[in-house]
Amino acid sequence: MKKIGFIGLGIMGKPMAKNLLKAGHSLVVCDIQPDPVQELVRAGAEAGRTPADVAARTEIIITMLPNSPEVMAAVFGADGVAAGIRSGSILVDMSSIAPSASRQLAERLAPQKVAVLDAPVSGGEPKAIDGTLAIMVGGPQATFDEVRPILAAMGSSVTLVGEIGSGNITKLANQMIVALNIAAMGEALVLAKKAGTDPARVFEAIRGGLAGSTVLEAKVPKVLAGNFKPGFRVALHIKDLANALDTAHEIGVPVPLTSQVMEILQALKVDGRAQEDHCSIVRFYEDMARTEVRK
């Protein structure tokens, strides 16, 4: 069994790394914050001093970082992965970044004979914890086949969708659909409440029909409970939609609904809610309608 490096132990990365340990993999971990590193060490991992140190001691390196600049810094910055990685190693970037950045990673590491996959995930913190993430992968088939058992320790769905960058294209499509679903949910629940109908009963009535979705099952209970603790932060969804809008504009695809939801998220950020769960979209509608869905 090959030794794995894991760089980035945030809300998503830490439970993902723990699931790799539970599956019996040997892990070297690194993060800019010492506490999650020590937590993983107590769970059986080894601590890496820098990304370069992690790469030098492992054969497969996973990065799980906030956005393109952080990934590029971790890989190509001082003491970055590229400074320590060995020929024949594999870099699996599981961050949600711009597809163009994923392609740049592969191009810049190719002279070092390093294979690259972009493998962003969907499911938020709950699915990261229970190991049932949806993982969408871009890159060569042979490299995917080699790392698929590792990815399967973190996700219940692992799909190769195309060449490098395709994983993040798929993630952008996913984030657009999720954002629009949450916005539609917010509009509908606020309408029900303002009209005098119990939103909880509306949810029970529609969840088994065509309007039912994974988004509703995950987010309506949080909204009804007034629980806006982040599973996926507003700030991160803003980042993803910014990448979606940039990519869409680059290739000439109009995305008017995504643009509208982006403005709702920006309004939440202005209101100081950037660190709340993205189901806080409902609060935008509550403020406009002067009513509250929550019990």
> Known catalytic residues?
171
| 293 token code pair | 């869905």
Of 80, 74, 50, 63, nearest to 10 by C-alpha is: 63
Pairing between β-strand 121-122 and β-strand 133-138 as defined by DSSP bridges: antiparallel
Residues 183 and 281 sit within 8 Å (Cβ to Cβ): yes
What's the DSSP call for residue 86? P
Type of residue found at 271? D
Q: 84 vs 4, 54, 73, 198, 287, CA distance in Å?
A: 14, 8, 14, 58, 51
Measured CA to CA, the distance from residue 217 to residue 198 in angstroms comes to 17
DSSP-derived secondary structure letter, 155: E
Backbone angles phi, psi at 154, to 5 degrees: -115, -15
Which pair of tokens denotes residue 182? 């949450």
